[in-house]
Amino acid sequence: MNPRPLYLCGGLQSSGSTLISWCFLQRPDMDGVLDARFDTLPQMPADLARPLAWCKFTIACFRFSEVMEYLRDEGWDVRPLLVVRDVRSVFNSLITKSYGRNGVTADDPPVRLRLHRFLEDWTEFRRRGWPLLRFEDLAAEPVSTVRRACEQLGLPYENSMASWPKTREQITDARYGNESFLKTRRATLRETVVQSLMRVKTSCIPPEDLAWMELKFAEMNRVMGYPEHVPAEAPACPARAVPLFENTRRCERLRRKNRLSRSARKLADAVRRLLPLGADAVKAWGTRPARGIQAEQAR
């Protein structure tokens, strides 16, 4: 039995890939995952309602190549598509987002490391001649850009990809999705896309990070038609966005656990102070109003 085809779309966070995913999942012949979690490998639903399978994920904790090999091992015939956006625009947006934590753990990796992984995938796509969708083209000419992506994937274009008749509930797995897209989504593709998205902003990029990106991505910028240099717009800020453990969700969980542990120790100390008074006193203390308990703990 031949493997079932799976159209796999990847891109950096804040690259516009959720918008592309929404367009393809509007097709009457396609169903799947709107936006997989970035810190776990995508899990494809077993009960897809349409003949063609689709999955979109963001390159952060895993490279495209790694996710593709995982899904191949799961029995899928993967058809790749990479969404590309000027990484300066991506950094400028991502560094301000809750999911763009500039951390040092596997589930919240440094922003620069996420960009490294994307560059490796872009290089592989270019070497193999796999389809690349330039987000700035989508902002300028939305329908023709989606139509061209269909041609590259060997799919007929469907008008529903621009008119968006499906609701979120009609997509098998639409639990997740880019916050910005979900807030700014309108009724159709043309109503949602604005040409201002083409402008590269640097207002949140520290100067060393901007210089690093323009050096590291010089070839990609040249090939994709992005400017070699964009002026710095950031006000006074640190020279570089330094990755920190304190930025990670793991650190937040550890702090929460420590707070709970301290509360438990305080409660245990209060009980030990009451034990010499006898069981009746402990029982009576336990039935006091909340204010009485708090006052006892504060003593």
Tell me the three-class secondary structure of 173-200, residue by residue: ECCCCCHHHHHHCCCCHHHHCCHHHHCC
Are 204 and 41 a contacting pair, CB within 8 Å?
A: no
Q: Are residues 47 and 194 located together in one domain of the fold?
A: yes
Q: How far is CA 167 from CA 8, 171, 173, in A?
A: 21, 7, 12
Indicate the residue among 199, 224, 242 that finishes a domain.
199
Q: Are residues 169 and 75 located together in one domain of the fold?
A: yes
Are 282 and 293 a contacting pair, CB within 8 Å?
A: no
Indicate the residue among 199, 230, 262 that finishes a domain.
199
Asked if residue 242 belongs to a domain, the reply is no
Q: Are residues 83 and 10 located together in one domain of the fold?
A: yes
Q: Are residues 256 and 137 located together in one domain of the fold?
A: no
Beta bridge partners of 4: 76
Q: Are residues 174 and 269 located together in one domain of the fold?
A: no
| Cβ within 8 Å of residue 258, ≥6 positions away | none
pLDDT digits (tens, 9 = 90+) for 86-103: 999 999 999 988 888 999
Q: How far is CA 52 from CA 6, 7, 188, 194, in A?
A: 7, 8, 22, 29
Q: Are residues 16 and 80 located together in one domain of the fold?
A: yes
Residue 293 reports pLDDT greater than 50: no
Asked if residue 210 belongs to a domain, the reply is no
Asked if residue 231 belongs to a domain, the reply is no
User: What is the reported pLDDT for 108?
Assistant: 95
Residue 11 belongs to domain spanning: 4-199
Q: Are residues 184 and 262 located together in one domain of the fold?
A: no
Q: Are residues 144 and 261 located together in one domain of the fold?
A: no
Asked if residue 238 belongs to a domain, the reply is no
User: What is the reported pLDDT for 287?
Assistant: 57
Asked if residue 167 belongs to a domain, the reply is yes
Asked if residue 116 belongs to a domain, the reply is yes
Sheet strand arrangement including 4-11: 30-33, 52-58, 4-11, 76-84, 132-134
3-state secondary structure at position 238 = coil
3-state secondary structure at position 41 = coil
Mean residue pLDDT across the chain: 89
What's the average model confidence in pLDDT over 182-207? 87
Q: Are residues 48 and 109 located together in one domain of the fold?
A: yes
Indicate the residue among 199, 225, 258 that finishes a domain.
199
Please tell me the total count of domains within the chain.
Answer: 2
pLDDT digits (tens, 9 = 90+) for 114-153: 999 999 999 999 999 999 999 999 999 999 999 999 999 9
The CATH number given to whatever domain includes residue 137 is: 3.40.50.300
Q: Are residues 154 and 32 located together in one domain of the fold?
A: yes
pLDDT band at 289 (very low <50, low <70, confident <90, very high): low
Asked if residue 225 belongs to a domain, the reply is no
Q: How many CB atoms lie within 10 A of CB 130?
A: 16
Q: What's the whole-model pTM score?
A: 0.84
Q: What is the signed CA dihedral for 191, 175, 72, 160, rounded to 10 degrees? A: -30
Asked if residue 223 belongs to a domain, the reply is no
Q: How far is CA 19 from CA 37, 54, 187, in A?
A: 16, 14, 13
Q: Are residues 144 and 269 located together in one domain of the fold?
A: no
Q: Are residues 141 and 272 located together in one domain of the fold?
A: no
The whole-angstrom separation of Cα 90 and Cα 58 is 12
